[in-house]
A and B are shown apart, each in its own frame.
Chain A
């Protein structure tokens, strides 16, 4: 069975725990200047954020050799992700975005040479996207008869980012809120796509970085590089 859906939600920022959101970025927003930047350019300017999301839920699937077979596509998720979801009886394929408003605001700051403001907005927008991904998960994961895995996305845990195209092939064609570049990056940038496994057996939802051999992984590289892209 395939269940497909497209939806748009308005996220009311007054209902978002901004202190927690800011805290998750790792930036000290108790700094009065950072707080001032966010208040003037984010909190006072945006009362709501539009969350566009879509998903397809597949139950006619098979999993073998580190691959997921569903409909006409084969997702080559590689070992790390496969091991986390291999007991799934179904797969939810999803994509969501908070749009380009905050992304464009950040770019405007960068273009003016106001890097700090651009950076703070960018970090908050990224965190807000993750927050929205959690809302999406809560929205669709309602069935208490199943256990659900974490979200896994192309470009992480050894899953080739080029497989992003397959994700979008599996989503409703009517969903136009996100487009892919030739290098399979999503536009708007503040978007998340991926899969969630579900089934009758409980998932081990711990990350498995210790078993990964990805030579060029961001996390594996040096501390400075990790900080730069934090």
Chain B
């Protein structure tokens, strides 16, 4: 039985979504996260065990591989796809309250900026790490972040992304307004031009050069 949980973890790590999807090459013709999750639930495994013994550890490996340069963006996206195919079987348990998210994070690309690949990657890794994400999209103003925080229970952090040197400057005003209204919230920043020095200057709580470090940081504050 435990082997099934281990196999599901492998499916997540290798991005094996389902029987019909010919990826990865060495798992063509095998069942994927979709079928295996369904079978595990049928066999009586708890959603809690599936989440905590297969999915989250699997995505943790994926996040680390990306951080270490072993995985590239498409690899992470395939794993996220496998995770999604598994999570659709677990969604009812989140709705019923049998499963709970580790925390809730409001995430967006700051006003003036239309780039969202980096933000979406962070979103996937955080979702894969057990967090509920409220995605306010691109070109997001301070008001948009504040509205999302006000309308969502138990937000513990916000994440700001920017790709341009010109638009990353808009992070400062957003952080200032959010901190003025919600002083308990942690603010994470990231994006290609952002540095730790810049993050300190604009009084962000954490600069994350990659999605996995953001997850590790959130796991620390949401214990």
Contacts and interface: CB of A to CB of B under 8 A. Distances in A.
Interface in B9-55: 21-23, 25, 28
B140 to A, nearest CB: 12
Most buried by B among A36, A113, A115: A115
Given A28-B74, A227-B72, A228-B117, A113 B84 contact: yes
Contacts of B167: 183
B73 A227 contact: yes
B210 interface: yes
Contacts of B77: 115-116, 119
A119 B74 contact: yes
Given A36-B22, A228-B73, A228-B118, A222 B209 contact: yes
B163 A216 contact: no
Interface string B198-219: 1000000000011000000000
A65 interface: no
Given A33-B21, A185-B112, A229-B118, A161 B193 contact: no
A119 to B, nearest CB: 6
Interface string A3-34: 00000000000000000000000011001111
A185 to B, nearest CB: 5
Interface in B153-187: 163-168
Contacts of B150: none
Contact of A216 (B22, B115, B195): B195
Interface string B115-147: 111101100100000000000000100000000
A216 B169 CA distance: 11
- Range for the number of chain B residues in contact with chain A: 35 or more
B48 to A, nearest CB: 23
Contacts of B194: 216, 221, 225
B25 to A, nearest CB: 8
Contacts of A161: 164, 166
B80 A216 contact: no
Most buried by A among B73, B80, B113, B198: B73
Given A116-B80, A119-B73, A185-B114, A226 B124 contact: no
A120 B209 CA distance: 23
A188 to B, nearest CB: 10
- Range for the number of chain A residues in contact with chain B: 35 or more
A216 B195 CA distance: 7
Given A33-B21, A115-B77, A119-B77, A224 B115 contact: no
B191 interface: yes
Most buried by A among B120, B192, B193: B192
B113 A226 contact: no
A142 interface: no
B69 interface: yes
A114 B120 CA distance: 11
Nearest to A116: B77
B81 interface: yes
Contacts of B210: 224-225, 228
B105 interface: no
Most buried by A among B21, B81, B117: B117
B188 to A, nearest CB: 14
A161 B74 CA distance: 29
B102 interface: no
A155 B191 contact: no
Interface of A: 27-28, 31-34, 36, 110, 113-116, 118-120, 122, 155, 160-162, 181-185, 187, 189, 214-218, 221-230
Given A114-B81, A115-B81, A116-B74, 6 more contacts: A116-B77, A183-B112, A184-B166, A185-B164, A221-B195, A224-B209
The 3 closest A-B pairs by CB, nearest first: A183-B112, A116-B77, A33-B23
